[in-house]
Chain A
Amino acid sequence: EVKLVQSGAEVKKPGESLRISCKGSGYSFTSYWISWVRQMPGKGLEWMGKIDPSDSYTNYSPSFQGHVTISADKSISTAYLLWSSLKASDTAMYYCARQYYDSSDYYRAWGQGTLVTVSS
C-alpha cells in the first residue's frame, strides 16, 4: 500500500525557520515525483512545487519560487518543505502528494496534511 506520512502540526513565530516532512512507503520512492500543495484556512488548493526524488530536481510554481525550498533524502524516502523565515501568511495546511504514474501530474496518494500556524 502506498502511504505518505507527514510530520505533525507546528506552531511558529514570524521570522522562524521550519522544515516539515513527508515519508513515503510501499513503493519505490525514487520512481515518482512528490508535490507540495498549500491550503490556506477556508480556501482552495494551491500547487507549490514538486521534486524528483531520484536526483532532487525541482520545479516550483512562480507564486512560491524563492519563498520555500523543496528537498528530498532518498536514503530515508522522505521529502521536505522548508521555510527560512516564516510569515503569518504561511499559516495553512500543507499536503504532500505522490505522482499517480510516471510522467503524469495527477496525484492519487496524499499525506494526511501538516498544519502550520505562524503567530506572534
Chain B
Amino acid sequence: QSALTQPASVSGFPRQSITISCTGTSSDVGGDNYVSWYQQHPGKAPKLMIYDVNNRPSGVSNRFSGSKSGNTASLTISGLQAEDEADYYCSTYTSSSLVFGGGTKLTVL
C-alpha cells in the first residue's frame, strides 16, 4: 500500500481540464514542498513533469501545473490532448525515503 493516495483513474475530453489528487499526511505532503509528479507512457520510463509542488522542468508544457493544500497535492492538466493519456505518479521525500503514490491512469476520451 502506497503512502500517498491517488485516484486509480481519471478521464476527460480533449481541450478540457482535469485534476489528479495526491493525499498524504502532515509528515510528508503537508510537511514540506518536496512534491513532484511523473508521467509514464506504456513501455516508457517515467518523465518528471512537476517538482517542488509547482515548478516545471524546462521543456514541459505549461498546460501542466501543480498545487498543494494541506496534506493534498494536485496536478492539473489543462487543454487535454491525446498524448496526455498516460499514468501519473506523485512523489515526495519523507523519513529518508522517496515514496510514490499508487498512480493514476488518465484516459483522454
Least distance between A87 CB and chain B CB atoms (Å): 21
Query: A53 near B: Cβ within 8 Å?
Result: no
The reply to whether B45 and A47 form a contact with Cβ atoms under 8 Å apart is no
Find chain A residues with CB under 8 A from B38 CB.
45
- Asked if A110 contacts B51 (CB within 8 A), the reply is no
Bound complex: CA A110 to CA B100 (Å): 16
Asked if residues B103 and A44 are in contact (CB atoms below 8 Å), the reply is yes
Closest to B60 in A: A108
How would you classify the secondary structure of chain A's contact residues: helix, strand, loop or mixed?
strand
Indicate if the CB atoms of B48 and A108 lie closer than 8 Å: yes
* Total count of chain A residues near the partner, CB < 8 A: 22
Q: Which residues of B contact A (CB under 8 A)?
A: 2, 34, 36, 38, 40, 45-48, 51-52, 57, 87, 89, 91, 93, 96-103
* Known A44-B102, A108-B57; 10 more pairs at CB < 8 Å: A45-B46, A45-B91, A50-B98, A61-B98, A105-B36, A105-B93, A106-B36, A106-B48, A106-B52, A112-B45
A interface residues (Cβ-Cβ under 8 A, vs B): 35, 37, 44-47, 50, 59, 61-62, 95, 97, 100, 104-108, 110-113
